[in-house]
Amino acid sequence: PFLVFTRSAFVARKPDYAQPNWLGVGLAFGTSAALWAFLIKQHNEDVVEYERRQREKQHKCTGCS
């Protein structure tokens, strides 16, 4: 009897493919692009650091220390 007056937070309906959710599409692609940009930037920084450490390791000068 008291369940008649409750409302569900979820509504079951068929998706409307004629009107895509452009905000959701933009957020999905934007997030993906931002993550890829961050990963590429981080990779490039890691490569530079790796090469710097390799050069340091090969440097045998005793006067620098």
Measured at the CA of 57, the angle between CA 55 and CA 60, to 5 degrees, comes to 95
Mean pLDDT throughout 43-64?
88
Is 45 or 63 the better-scoring residue by pLDDT? 45
**Percentage of residues in the chain having pLDDT higher than 90:** 57
Report the distance separating Cα 55 and Cα 61, nearest Å: 12
Q: Which residue has the tokens 């890829």?
A: 36
Q: What is the pTM of this model?
A: 0.63
pLDDT tens-digit series, residues 10-38 = 777 787 889 999 999 999 999 999 999 99
Mean pLDDT of 46-60: 91
Encoding tokens for residue 62? 């005793």
